[in-house]
Structures are given as C-alpha cells and as structure tokens.
Structure 1
C-alpha cells in the first residue's frame, strides 16, 4: 500500500521563465510572468491585473469600456479554464501557485464593477479581494477543495470577487 509519504506520484515542476515561454497556455496562466514571483505570486498577479486595467482603461477608454471589460472577463474566464488545465497538468500540480490568471480575471471583474472608480476604492477592493482569496471562507474553501481542473482554479476566485463586491457594497451602505 502506498501512502502520500512514499507515493510514486511525480513531483510538481518548478515554474520558471523557460517553462512559461514553452507554451502559450503557460504564458497566460502565469499572468505574463507575474505568477513567477518567488513570494506571494497571487498578490503579484492581482497587482498586474490592477496595473493592466488602469493602463488599458486610461490609454484606450473608447475600447476598454465597462461593457467591453465584462466581455473580456467572460472570455478570459473561458480561456483561463483551458490555460490553467493545461498548465496545471504540465506543472504536475492542478492549482500551482504560479498560475495567477484566475486572480487577474477575478480582479478585473471587481475593478469594472467598483464604483466610484477612484484610487482609494480600487485599493480597498485590492485589499478585500486578497483577503478573501487567501483566507478562503466558505463556500470559497469548498469550491477550492472540491472543484478540480481549470474550472476549479478559476471558479473559487470568481466567488472571492463576488465576496469582495458584496463586502464593498455593504461597507458603502453603512
């Protein structure tokens, strides 16, 4: 009988720039390199989401409208299911820490729905989103444990985005 200690299951692969550039799915799943941070890759992925959202919305406001952002996040979710499935399989870890596309898509969703869209409201959204993504209160923790593959990787962060938006709405109402 094998136990986890003596299991012959292959060990996860270390995420590197070379690995990321080996497949288009890896580039996306690893947040264009933001997930390769040796410390807190999820936070760096969320910061990448914030920076890219602000830059694209400011530079091309006629393209990156709120409606278009919703379409982008929906398409990004679908793409993320595939990229995280492929990258997790190649890394031999279904929800490898270097995969941050889930944070990027979920935080873009938060940013497009946060009103007013001020720097302070975006910063509050960043802090609240990171809290829910790291702590994973129910049902986020349930989805994190029970939904597998690319869909599971993506879904728990969408629920964290919903919690973030709910918390910010409640805070504003009080």
Structure 2
C-alpha cells in the first residue's frame, strides 16, 4: 500500500505515521453529524465491511486510562479489556477526559498520535485482515493500515476484547 502524502501538516495521526515511516492510505468521506454510529457510517460511506473498520474506545481503570480498538459492529467487553490491561475492572472513560487526554474529539479519536501514550489493546479479529481502518483524528477521516503496523506505532498488543451484539 502506498503512503499518501498530504501537502499540509495533516492530523497528529498522519504526522505520527509519516514520522514512523508507516505505510497507510487516507480514506476520507462526507461525515453526517446526525449519523447514529460514526463507525458504521464510515464503513458504509467507504464501502468496507464493518468488521474491517475499528473504533477507538477509552477505558478508565485503577491504573489510569487505556485504549481498546474493536470492530465498529461489536462492543468492547470491559471484563476482557480489564484482563488484557492487567487490572481488576475497566469502565468506559468520561468523554471529556478522553478528549483531553488524546487531543481528539469523540467520534474522531484515533489510536495513533494521541497527546499521551496509553496502554493499547487491539481486538484479535484484526489479524484476519491484511489492512484495517481506524479513525484518522477527525470525523470523516479514516486511515487504512496493517494491524501489525498499528500495533507497532501504538506499542499495542492484541487480545480478544470484542463482544458481538
């Protein structure tokens, strides 16, 4: 996959990927603010199966915040996430805390290029695809890259953290 260069600075996510030399493709679409699910909207707009589009969710634990990345057509299993992070309990993080910590707005939180490096867990289902899509740092912008490259740049690991609805 060829890296798409941007003429201006891009988002913190694209800047981080460029600096790391990670190949990725920018996938933009017209975001509808009234969409009930940003992730499912992205999958439909980009013509990609929802299992290949991943959402970035922040959790709060007794050790601080963590990042869970799961398919948009699944839920984050909080017990599995807590186990993957080595904590007793995980709850969904306050949206304001998520925005403050990552530097992104809810609905556009990228797992890449966050203001503060957080423990990151990618659902194992990502490994079945050569590339997946994650938020590029703003609503209406996704980045397509390999799961291995995503794990490298986020210093993340995989675990079974998704639960089908």
Q: TM-score range by the shorter chain?
A: under 0.3
Higher strand share: 2
Q: Which has the larger radius of gyration?
A: 1
Higher helix share: 1
TM-score by length of 2: 0.28
TM-score for both structures, normalised by structure 1: 0.27
